[in-house]
Amino acid sequence: MHNVVYSISWLSGTVPDEKKGDTMKHLLKTMLLLLVAAGMLFAFTACDSSGGDDDEEDDFDRDFWAQTYSGRWYTVRSDLLATGTYCKVYAQQTAYITTAQAERVAAEFDDKIFNQITTNFGEHGDVDEDGKVTLLLLDIEDGYDPDVGGGFVAGYFDSTHMLRKTSNSKSNECDMIFIDVNPVEVESEEFYTTIAHEFQHLINYSRTYMVDGREQDIWINEGLSSGAEYVYSGEVSQDRVTWFNNDSLGTIAQGNNFFVWYGYWEGTNPNTVLDNYATVSLFFQWLRIHASNGTEIYKEILASEDRDVDAVTAAAENQIDSAFSDWGYLLQTWYLANFRCRPDGFYGYEGEIDTDPVRLTKQGGDLYEFEAGEGIISALGNTPGDRGSFTPNTADSGTHIQYTGFNYAEDAVATGTTLNNEFVLVLNTNTDNTPFAYEKGFIANVVTAPGSNPVALNMQARIVANKKPLPRKFPVGFHPGYGGAGETPEQRLLKNKAGFAPAATIQGKKDWR
């Protein structure tokens, strides 16, 4: 830390001999008054700050602008604790991070994270031209209460700080990421995977918006960051797999996934945004597992001039199979991979991930509204494993609604006016993921006998049967600017701690009945 030293320069001049005694007394009084005044000025300036919660600390290296989960700006008084080859590690003074901890963080970033992430995603923009990424370790103001639990922000990248202050007065004018230290533990696996996750966001912005003013779709950006976590750790996030399998809110079975990130479900219940993180993680792991170039498929997606689904289908066509140039076929294959979870082939994860999603049988009505990318799997037989017959109303279905019949143990899929299979997937294959744009589809309207298996229950009974304990704490993303004038679902989730509970009252889209 820096010590503040005040120096006083005196004006030179000649003092008459006969006045020296009185003059010396006068000078001594003047010096004393000046020293007192200087001390008062020091005390005043040390307490005066541009904001924040750390004003009680006198010595510091830098004040950084940061945002609370609600979007309020505040300053973080911090110390530079370690400087590595590729990073500078600052810590919020009230976070009480030790120099030894910061030095180990710098070493991990230099020796592992930096090379791994840049190799698989690309170089980042060095806006302050110091050759280093600024890592700020702080207690992000996300409203997290250990007695209540719920969501918290594990870290974030804010593109504001890639700008000059002349463009945005809140810019820190450096390439930086913010890493939480409460409840995230410094040097934990979660801590380091968060750095990898956010570093990808920084690189992503550098290689998209800073190049041509166009950002990637948020689902691709988040999918690549989930891939960055794997690149660093070599492990799949089991928390996200568990969230997918449990489907505690009952909305994944009703079609909710990553493709429309801020759509109907997130507007209805902000907690459903957690479905997006779970499903996009699985989808990008599926891409990696089946790509001939492994994790390098991520770099190919990011390097594309396309910023939407075309970047993904082009990479899948090049590195997995030419048939996956078609988004509908790629998405259909992924849906069936989650359902079948084969140990080899495209209908599974090569044994790396075990998925066990719960299906549903639609009862008492058959009309449903699908946003782009949404799909629902229903049983056609009276009991799981039995075949049934289903003739969808294709004439009144949306342009992009696709009906696919299939059996659990067979690779073949069926299309046509009448499906005679065990299950049917109803999927909106539209590549335009504009929110709140619906297409009508028809779910298999099969009346089944009640049973303990959720597949034989109506939607409300399925939610009750499948209800699982919710996690005590869970990280959510923070996307400054995406909410425009309003709040993002992540912000509403963080604010509404008491509202996090299984959505037993969610019945589906407008025409679910």
In the predicted structure, residue 270 carries a pLDDT above the cut 90:
no
At residue 19, φ and ψ (nearest 5 deg) are -105, 0
Q: Does residue 33 register a pLDDT over 60?
A: no
DSSP string, 214-265: -PPPHHHHHHHHHHHHHHHHSS--HHHHHHHHH-TTS-TTTT--SSSTTSHH
SS3 category, 178: strand
49 pLDDT higher than 50: no
What are the residue boundaries of the structural domains of the chain, listed by start? 1-11+22-48, 65-215
pLDDT of residue 378: 84
- pLDDT of 278 > 90? The answer is yes
Tell me the average pLDDT across 14-22.
Answer: 38
CA 20/CA 164 separation, integer angstroms: 56
Is the pLDDT confidence value at 56 over 60?
Answer: no
The structure's pTM equals 0.83
pLDDT score for 484:
56
* DSSP designation for 7: -
Coil, helix or strand for 399? coil
pLDDT tens, position by position, 179-216: 999 999 999 999 999 999 999 999 999 999 999 999 99
Task: Give the distance between the most distant pair of CA atoms in the chain.
Answer: 120
Low-confidence winner among 47-51, 166-170, 184-188 (lowest mean pLDDT): 47-51
Residue 464 reports pLDDT greater than 80: no
Which whole number is the average pLDDT over 121-128?
A: 97
What's the pLDDT tens digit per position in 66-81?
999 888 999 999 999 9
Q: Where are the alpha helices (DSSP H) in 296-355?
A: 296-303, 309-319, 327-340
Q: What is the CATH number of domain 65-215?
A: 3.30.2010.30
